[in-house]
Structures are given as structure tokens and as C-alpha cells.
Chains A and B, each alone.
Chain A
Amino acid sequence: MGKKKKFIEKKKSATFALVYKEATDDGNEEDGAGTGRIFTRIDGGFSHVPGFSEEDPRSQLHGYAYGEQGEEEEEEEEEEEEDLSMFADAEEEDTEETGDENGSHKFQTAVKRPQSGANSSSSRFRDRRGGAALPDHVRKELVDLGFPDDGYDYLQHMRKIGAAGVGASFVPTNRLQLDRIRTDVKVYDSSRVAVNLVDETTDEQRLIEAVGSSTRPLRRPAFVEEQGLDPEVAAALANSDDGSQFDSCDELEDDFVIHATENADGDDSACQEIPKRQDVGIHKVGNSNGHRESVEEEREGEEEDEEDVHQIARKDTTRQRCIRLLDEQFESLALREYDDDMLPGDFDEEDPEARGHADISQFDDVLSEFLADSNIHGDKYKTPAETTSSRPSKSSGPALGIRLEACQESSHASLDDVSDTSEDELVIVEEESEDERSNWDCETVVSTLSNLDNHPGKILAPSKSNSKKQLTLGRVLEEKESNGGVIRLRGRHHLPLDLLPEKPGSTLIGEKFKGIGKTGKGDKESGSKKPVSRVGETPEEHKLRKAAVKEQRRDARAAKKALKVCYRDESQRAQHGAANTGPSGIHLP
């Protein structure tokens, strides 16, 4: 029996799929009720199907692939091709000058071609056609951009900067070349100054401030006669740029430090611009140097500060340049800020009460005299010792008693200023009875204990626990009673070993543990006799022996692992059980 005649033979058929087409800018009307659906061929054939092939974009690509067409149809096709092709907005290779159908001459990224086997041939056709037709100016542009002139249009992958609002705009930088400026010209960077319209109302001061704050002086290379560089040094630095002069001089010729230190003495006389006030200050300090101890203690700190400032001002050894106006201003500022009072040197003349100089150690008694002077303080600061010493007539009895009395007396005397207690009268001391003081009631006691230690709670009847995992209730109760209410956990994994069956193999647990352990160990020790290597064994015997050993080892490992797993499972179950049971005091590792 032959095959039934099929409705459609695959080899002689054309298959089209209904797909959604991307919206194009042509403004062409699509059929498919305006949603842009077209039929595209998916079986890869090239035969013409009336009605379907016309709108197939694949067919537009290769107008020459149809062998059956007449010439008129070809022309028709090409016209339609221009209108309906979905690549219409792509860059045309031969129509660059006139390719402004869309109004903008823009390069596009590489156009996606539908993936199918036949299309490779079509693209081959296209490239071949396109390669021959690259116009000259295109080629020139390609070469200018650096692409090889191989007939491929790389411009289709290029995108113009800034076109259609996408991309960055190119702004050339303005870098100032500083070495071209004369050395006596100062350079300032005012690029950040905001330029505003100036009316009459604008405050000049504000303007100046604004400009000044945003203007920065530009750093220039140091080949300049500023900053105190000697002209020789500047010249040397400038010349050393060449690098050629460096070989000639092996040693450094920078001995400015030596020069500076040599000029230390000369500088004092050289820098005469220091204002007179500071001069005076320096003199004063110089004078009081030797008499530093004579000044009262409160002044000493200030004087030291003063000295430091002047030290800075007078730094001859380290300073390399003359004192500038700015330095003087700084020093005067320091003086002003940190020395509001009179200068230390002036004290000797202006202080009317100063009676000359004396050592501070001579005034040790001043404080004690001051404190002891009853005219000033009365009896406020009396210690018990002083109280008793001022009342010698009352001193009788043990010293302790006196002190006690005196203490109490003084305390009461200080507290009761109202009462007319003078030192000579007897003071009645009240004492609390001991019974009153140390009687605590339980409320007080209980309230003093902290809740952290005592946990007050209600006494409840013991609740039924809902643990499902109990071996047998009877056995557990038995164990409880026998152990005095405690189930003992023993062993490394803290298992209730008492609850394990004693007979081997009677429960699952017992089987697991005891069976494995014993057999595992048994194998090792008694079962196998390890084959020993003999002298003169053949390679086969060697192999066999080694294999046997390996087997043994493997078995041992497996047994060990099984035992471990068993233990682990059991301990996990025990943990679960412990988590469910009541008291949280059981800690399982």
C-alpha cells in the first residue's frame, strides 16, 4: 500500500508566518488593520507566491533572485522595494547623495538582517554589488578615518557626533602656556568669576570681593625671582632643564643653608622694618630673662608665650629672607590676640603695688595664715583639731571621745547657723537609737532585692508536654524514678544512653550503633589478615595484594562513615527532643 497523497508536499510548498513588523518612518500604510503585521517567508525558498511575496521583506533584498520574472516585474519590484522595504531608512550604498528620503542624512548602525540560510547568499549578492559601487568620496572618507580601503563600507557602523541631539559636543580646551609669559608678570586664573551686569546699585566692595574670591593666582614654575630664590639658584634650575649640565657638576652646589646661617648676625641689623613696639617688646623680654623668677606666678605663662612669639619673629638662623610686611602684621596680630593685658615687661614700672622682687618660697605661709585668720572666716573652716585647740579648758577624757564630740559639734555647728552656738557652750548631741535604725521589715528587704536575680512567678501545676518523640512513656517514667527524676545524658553526643536497649538488635537504634561499631571494628582487627609483601612476588601478586588492601581500606572507611552518620542523626533527633521539652537548662553542644 502506497502512501496516502498528502495535502501539501513540503518540498513544493511555501510557508509564511504572520509577524509583527516594526513601525517605519516612511508613513507607508500597512495592511493588517494598522497594527503592522506582514507575512514573511520562513521556509527559505525563493519561489514567487502571488499575494504573499509582494510584501515579504526578504524578497525585496534580492530582486535578481527570481528566475521566473519578466523584466517588467523586476522594475515593479524595485519600485516597490524602495517603498515597502523595511530597510528603506537604512543608508543606501549607491544613493548617498540622494538618499535624503527621510530628510536627514544620518549614518545608522549595522542593519539587522533576518536570519536564514538563504540570506547569506543574498547578502553575498549585496556585498558583491556594493563593493564594486563604493563611490570615490566615500572611499576617501574611509581612508581619512583610518579604515582600510577594502571595499567595505565601514561608515554604516559610524555615527556622527552630536547629530540628532545625541552625543556630546566638542569643546576645545584653553590651556595657558605659562612659560611664554614674561617672568615679571603675575598670572591669575579668573575663569570661575561669574560675570554679571553691573548697575550703579551694585556695591563696589561686593564686586571686588566676588572677583577676588574666585580668582586664583596660577602657579608658575619656580624659575622666577620671587620667593626669595637667589638669582643664581633660579638660573641654575633653569639651566638644569637641559640635563646636559648635570654631568659636569658632581656635587651639589646648593649651599644656601650655609649662606643663611652665616648671615644670621647680619640679618638683625638688616631688618630694621620691625615696628617700634615690637622692638620695645624684645628689649623687655631681654631684660626680664634674667629676672624671670621675680615675676609673680600668674604672669609666667604669658611671658613664655610672649617669648615664643618673639622667638619666631627673631628667627635668624632658619629664616632665609627679610621680614616682610605680612610677617610684621602677623606678629602684631599674634601680640594683639594673645596679649590683651599689659606686656610683661611693663609690669615692673606700672604696677603700683609691686614692692620689688622676692622668691615665691617666701610666701609659703601666706595661705595658711589666710585660712587661719578667724577674722575673715569665722569658724566655717574649722577642723576638729582646731576646735579643740581653741578650747583647751574642755579637754578632758579620752582623746577619742573628745574628737567624736568635736566632730559632732562641728557638724552641728555648721548645719545650724541659726542657733546661737559658740564654741564655749556645750552642744547637745542627739543620737538615734540603734533599735530604730536597724529595724527592717520584710517589705523593705524584699524591695531591695533586684528582680534580675529573683524571678517572681506564679506557681502552676505542671502542664502536659506535647512532645511526640518519646521512646516509650513507660520506659521514660521508669528511668526518671530510678535516677531520682533525672534522665542522664552521657557520652560525647549527650544521648540518653540509659534509654537505649541493652540487648543488641532489639531496637533500631541499638542495631545501628552497636551493629556498625562492632562489625566495623571486628573487620579490622580479627577478620582480615593483612597481606604481607613477600620477597619475589610477581607483579600480578603485587597487584592483587594492593587491590585487597584497597578493598579493606574502603570498607573501613564506609563503616566509619556510616557510624558517624548514625551518631549525627541520633544527636540531631536528641536536639529536637530537647528543644521541645520543658526546662531550658539542658545544653546540648
Chain B
Amino acid sequence: MAMAMKPGKVGVEEAIETVHRIRITLSSKSVKNLEKVCADLIKGAKDKRLKVKGPVRMPTKVLHITTRKSPCGEGTNTWDRFELRVHKRVIDLHSPSEVVKQITSITIEPGVEVEVTIADV
């Protein structure tokens, strides 16, 4: 764990400077928004000179729903196949947590869910 420690003051400054391992998980139903948010986040992190890894694309989870088309039971047995796709991206950072907060609060598209996991806290 990289800790930038300044001599003397521990309390408040320590909070700002300590660099944590941070994992940002982004999930969404739409790929376009998700990719946009990812790109923005990585760009923001790189602007702040942080060590970034990602985005790692997790396998898409697909929820299949297969239903009869007919509201009654009559007729040829035709079936509808619906699916819901959830895409997931993971971005790893090494940064103090305040910075991450700033980055994530700037750009968010609707429909994208953001989760931030901070290690060693």
C-alpha cells in the first residue's frame, strides 16, 4: 500500500493523501452509455495522474424470458423470447478516496450504476 506520509500532521492530512486501491464497478443495460461513462472515468483519472487499470469487461449476463405469445391457449404454439442484458465493467485505480469521489461525481449517464469499493479501510 503506497502511503504518502507527511511528517508531523497525521490526522487530517493523512486522510487526503493516503492512496487506496479502489475498484469502480459499472453496470448497465445499455452498452453505449456504459462505454461512455467508462471512457470519461478513465480520462478523468488519467488527468489526475492516477494509476488506472481497465476497463475490464466482464461477461454480459443475459436474462432470458420465454413466454407464449398467445394470451389464451389457442392457436399454434408460438413463443416470444425476451432478454435483458447486463453489461459490467471494472476499473481499478490507485488513488486517495476524495479524488475518486470527485471523478465519479462529474460524469454519469442515466441507467449506469456505479459502485466504488475501497480496500484496506
Contacts and interface: CB of A to CB of B under 8 A. Distances in A.
Given A32-B105, A37-B105, A37-B108, A51 B119 contact: no
6 contacts: A13-B120, A15-B115, A15-B116, A50-B16, A50-B96, A52-B101
Given A33-B105, A51-B97, A16 B23 contact: no
A17 B98 contact: no
Interface in B78-121: 92, 96-98, 100-101, 104-106, 108, 113-121
Interface string B59-74: 0000000000000000
Q: Which of B96, B108, B118 has the largest number of chain A CB atoms within 10 A?
A: B118
Nearest to B120: A12
B63 to A, nearest CB: 21
A7 B21 contact: yes
A13 B21 CA distance: 9
Contacts of B104: 18, 39
B48 to A, nearest CB: 14
Interface of A: 7-9, 12-18, 31-33, 37, 39, 42, 47-52, 70
B39 interface: no
List of 7 A-B pairs having minimum Cβ-Cβ separation, nearest first: A50-B15, A51-B98, A18-B114, A51-B97, A8-B119, A15-B117, A16-B116
B23 A7 contact: yes
A50 B119 contact: no
B33 interface: no
Contacts of B108: 18, 32, 37
A39 B23 contact: no
A42 B25 CA distance: 13
Contacts of A70: 11
Given A7-B92, A50-B16, A52-B101, A18 B119 contact: no
B96 to A, nearest CB: 7
B101 A39 contact: yes
Contacts of B119: 7-9, 12-13
Contacts of A12: 119-121
Contact of A52 (B21, B97, B106): B97
Contacts of A51: 15, 96-98, 100-101
A18 B117 contact: no
**Is chain A's interface secondary structure helix, strand, loop, or mixed overall?**
loop
A49 B121 contact: yes
A31 B113 CA distance: 17
Nearest to A31: B105
A14 B21 contact: no
A447 B40 CA distance: 90
**Is chain B's interface secondary structure helix, strand, loop, or mixed overall?**
mixed
Contacts of B96: 50-51
A14 B115 CA distance: 10
Interface string B34-59: 00000000000000000000000000
Given A8-B21, A8-B119, A17-B116, 7 more contacts: A7-B23, A8-B23, A9-B120, A18-B104, A18-B113, A49-B118, A50-B96
Nearest to B12: A50
Given A18-B113, A51-B15, A13 B121 contact: yes
Nearest to B116: A16
A49 B97 contact: yes
A94 to B, nearest CB: 30
Contacts of A47: 121
Contacts of A42: 115
B12 to A, nearest CB: 9
A49 B16 CA distance: 10
A194 B41 CA distance: 73
Contact of A8 (B15, B106, B113, B117): B117
Contacts of A9: 119-120
A14 B118 contact: yes
Q: Which of B15, B16, B119 has the largest number of chain A CB atoms within 10 A?
A: B119
A37 B109 CA distance: 12
Contacts of B21: 7-8
A479 B82 CA distance: 52
A362 B121 CA distance: 132
B111 to A, nearest CB: 12
Contact of B121 (A14, A17, A32, A37): A14
B114 A17 contact: yes
A17 B15 CA distance: 20
A550 to B, nearest CB: 33
A451 B1 CA distance: 103
A13 B92 CA distance: 14
Contacts of A14: 117-118, 121
Contacts of B118: 13-16, 49, 52
Contacts of B98: 50-51
B112 to A, nearest CB: 9
Nearest to A30: B105
A384 to B, nearest CB: 77
A42 B92 CA distance: 19
Contacts of A39: 101, 104, 116
Nearest to A9: B119
Nearest to A50: B15
A70 B11 CA distance: 10
Contact of A17 (B11, B16, B23, B113): B113
A394 B119 CA distance: 143
A302 to B, nearest CB: 73
B119 to A, nearest CB: 4
Nearest to B16: A50
Nearest to A35: B108
A13 B117 contact: yes
B40 to A, nearest CB: 13
A18 B15 contact: no
Contacts of A17: 113-116
Contacts of A13: 117-121
A50 B97 contact: yes
Contacts of A7: 21, 23, 92, 119
Interface string B1-25: 0000000000100011010010100
A358 B8 CA distance: 147
Contacts of B105: 31-33, 37
A50 B92 CA distance: 18
